[in-house]
Structure 1
């Protein structure tokens, strides 16, 4: 069951694109979260606002201590409300967005800058005005920001006074506590109070003692709207959000570009891989040329896929040719056997019948050798790919093969002459397969050599290559057939050799083995000074191990 090729849609968000978006956007989101979460800029502005407001409160307290404090009957300094109220109104007049309150030592309000006496003695209470009321957009940004902070492990926002005391947004000023502390320590500073009004305004309140003759006679509470702090923080938040939106848009565009240059080509390669299953028609263009021309990793992948496709089809062609050759080679002895059997059925001459039985036996022997060699050739590639290559010294192997030949040599057989060092011909390979190649070449040389002729088995080192040569004194090889001798089922045997004793796969198998060792095997003719062929030479060249 084949898997259908993925559809290529311009509106399709691939998993790779989602991953690219996530990877690109996550660091950006973390950076923005850190900027919003830390928000040390706001703390610095609030600290500056508190410092300035405290200095203003100290001026009010000093002016009231000098102009509105009198000595009572007990010779104790007290605040005179009739003097304190008009003075407080004059002090607060340049600051319309502030409110000042004066408390006595008993905690009662002596004067309030927002409570005035109108015509006819009526009391008029003026609310604290908003110099820069917050708009809906500012409210929305602040609301989103506060909601965002609610999900983070953020400690309560704190503002630190000059003495190091801290007050959170939920802290409520205690006038009695401030009076108690200033009575015990006149130079004590109460912590500031920062809060949001119901309309969203940021209000800051400080308390400063009124000191006369080193005695605390009351407290001034000064409240002012931190307009500049709100505006500056709002501008920073808007800038951060604007940069975030811009960066997010750029991230999406860059992610889409990366997906178009990565995900889309990969999908097209997947489609090409699916088309390769359709047959030879897909081989003409296994991958899109535009992708194969890219000078990056995807182009490398595309070219590797194209090379793999060509190699696959070449292997399939080789398998088809091999199967056709096998069928042809097997058909010949089978046809001979069938003809002999049909002839035997129609004859009564036992002598001729025995001769036909000998032909059948030879054909069966030929089939047996042919099938064995075909089996060896067909499994050779997979076997060599699994075989572990180990260091092999060919010099002792050549010596052992020469000794075996001398020990099994019959009368009039060729003599094997060894011309190789005792050691040092080391390569990486499979020893059993290399022995198979050498024995095959020596066997071929014996078959073609004249009686009592010579066969030379040479071995030497040439640079980074080990060279092995097998030479004989036979008739040589036709120049037009020097490459054909390595083809499957090529057979050109001596006339003195019995028919069917060779399958024609020996040299083909030898070439497969040598190429699996990253080497080459070639055939050439030996010639004398008159350029006459004096024998054949097979040369093996394998890189040193």
Structure 2
């Protein structure tokens, strides 16, 4: 028994280790559901990092475009007389939507399209914008900080050309890479310069506000998607918490009440409308609690019945023992000793039957069933009784109507006990020289055994009570205490443990007597 218990314990511990959660097991299921959905949202929020790279690519394209435009404008200026370069710069500035400036070799400004009246490069004062754009700039600053975007230098006007890094580079290399500046409203300003020869330089300036507007538009779309997904995720998380966590919490509280035993009848919610695993768990727990309550009630009733049944022989035994101390008559003493012996035998038989009845359910649940030939078993039992001789001339006849074997999955010793009890019961109720008929037939996939006697029969209102523990209707001429009242109860427990049924009926031939019918399922195949 100990090795089997240890084996089951080790198997349970192994299964428990497979389901063990380390650090996450300390967090509630609701929090884990929310964390999982928030993690998915965080992956979606990573799209803001993509927008930063998207903005970088756009600026790279715009700076390359500004460098090309500066070189083309420089080439056009070189082929134009010096007195017409201002007019050409004004026309090109209108066409390219840029501010164009010409610087002499010493860095002195020669021409400026803004001074000519073309105001296509105007920086926006952020203090004069509405709250929407201010909020957008604040969000730009937050995102740039989160994604660790490089911070461009602040754009400011310079008088001399030598103060511009693009101009200084273009004086020596003829073409300089474009530079990205940051306007006061956080929009990019791109400057590019190209040399004309002899130290003269042309510089273009453009406020690429469209880049910021494009990025903000994409970010707004991503933010709308993120907000919708967040709301849907929160709703689904709460829905999951409501449909999973709440019923589990109710089942847990009910299980705690069952464990504490604070209520006589703890109602475990069965959740009949649910057809998922939680519904199956709820119904399993409900059935388990009901079976546990039924077993507890049966144990309490059994204990009360045992106490009641043992009081009678104990009272008789105590009275006889007390009388022995005061009685001097040898004949009377012998009678008292006979009472003591009968009471001791009765207690021994009662304790033996009680012990078997109390262990029967647990033993049947652990028993290993084998194929049992019930017909051969019945023939052997009847032959043994005939060999030993049956009291009062009672005879037993076996009417086997089954061709071949009839195998039943079960435990042979237990099934023998069933039929032994039925034979004892039939013999005790049979009249002198009576006949007991044992018939075996097949009905569908069941083996049906009928045990009929010629006794007084069982009243219809008592046909269920005779299978209860300590409930017995005994013959009037039977010696008191000869039976414990557990035989038929033990027989029913064994039969039901073999997935069968046992019942008592009237005889079909309308003769007096009782018929006990046992149905056992045949073994597969």
* Structure 1 Cα separation of the partners of residues 498 and 167 of structure 2: 94
Conserved? CA contact 1:514–1:542, under 8 Å: no
- Which residue number corresponds to residue 143 of structure 1? 141
Equivalence for 1:202? 188
- Return the offset for 1:524: 1.5
CA 1:178 to 1:358, structure 2 compared with 1: closer, same or farther past 3 Å?
A: farther
Could you tell which deviates more after superposition, 334-343 or 236-245? Answer: 236-245
The structural deviation recorded for 1:129 is 3.7
Q: Is the 8 A contact 2:63 2:180 kept in 1?
A: no
More displaced 10-residue stretch of structure 1: 474-483 or 317-326? 474-483
The alignment status of 1:226 with 2:208, answered yes or no, reads: yes
- Indicate how the Cα distance of structure 1 residues 485 and 174 shifts in structure 2: closer, same or farther if over 3 A, else same: farther
Does structure 1 residue 437 correspond to structure 2 residue 418? Answer: yes
Give the aligned partner of residue 315 of structure 1: 295
State the number of aligned residues.
Answer: 476
Q: How does 1:14-163 map to 2 (within 5 A)?
A: 15-34=28-47, 36-37=49-50, 41-42=54-55, 45-46=58-59, 49=62, 53=66, 56-57=69-70, 59-68=72-81, 84=85, 87-93=88-94, 98-99=99-100, 129-130=122-123, 135-150=133-148
1:508/1:56 Cα in 2 relative to 1: closer, same or farther (>3 Å)? same
* TM-aligned CA distance change 1:507 to 1:201, over 3 Å: same
The offset of 1:374, in angstroms, is: 1.0
The change in CA–CA distance for 1:305 and 1:537 in structure 2 (over 3 A counts) is: closer
Aligned to 1:244: 226
**Distance in 2, Cα, partners of 1:447 & 1:228:** 109
Q: Which segment is superposed worse, 24-33 or 386-395?
A: 386-395
**In structure 2, which of residues 508, 511, 514 is the aligned counterpart of residue 532 of structure 1?**
511
* Partner Cα distance (2:462, 2:195) in 1: 118
Q: Is the Cα contact below 8 Å between 1:489 and 1:503 reproduced in 2?
A: yes
**Structure 1 unpaired stretches of 5+:** 1-13, 69-79, 119-125, 158-171, 183-189
Describe the SS at the equivalent of 1:235.
helix
Q: 1:496 to 1:224 in 2, by over 3 A?
A: same
Q: Residue 335 and residue 58 in structure 1: after superposition, are their counterparts in 2 closer, same or farther (change >3 A)?
A: same
CA deviation after TM superposition for structure 1 residue 112, in Å: 7.3
CA distance change for structure 1 residues 440 and 204 in 2, over 3 Å: closer, same or farther? farther
- CA distance in 1: counterparts of 2:486 and 2:477, whole angstroms: 20
- Distance change (3 Å), C-alpha of 1:405 and 1:177: farther
8 Å contact kept, 1:526–1:537: no
Secondary structure of the residue aligned to 2:505 is strand
Which stretches in structure 2 are left out of the alignment for 5+ residues?
1-26, 152-164
RMSD of aligned C-alpha atoms?
Answer: 4.4
CA–CA distance in 2 between the matches of 1:294 and 1:178? 84
Deviates more, 1:237-246 or 1:196-205: 196-205
Matches of 2:167 and 2:194 in 1, distance apart? 12
CA gap 1:462/1:113 in 2 versus in 1, 3 angstroms = farther
Q: What TM-score comes out, normalization by structure 2 length?
A: 0.74
Distance 1:23 1:400, change over 3 A: farther
Distance 1:334 1:436 in 2: 28
Residue 519 (structure 1) aligned with residue 519 (structure 2) = no
Change (3 A) 1:149 1:420: farther
Deviation of 1:207 after TM superposition, in Å, equals 6.8
* The structure with more helix, counted as a fraction of residues: 2
Question: What is the TM-score normalised by the length of structure 1?
Answer: 0.71
**Other structure's SS at 1:286 match:** coil
Q: Deviations over 1:278-322 (max 9, x none)?
A: 768563x7257xx85654555665555554444443333322221
SS at match of 2:485: coil
- Evaluate the alpha carbon distance shift between residue 59 and residue 428 of structure 1 in structure 2; reply closer, same or farther with a 3 A threshold: farther
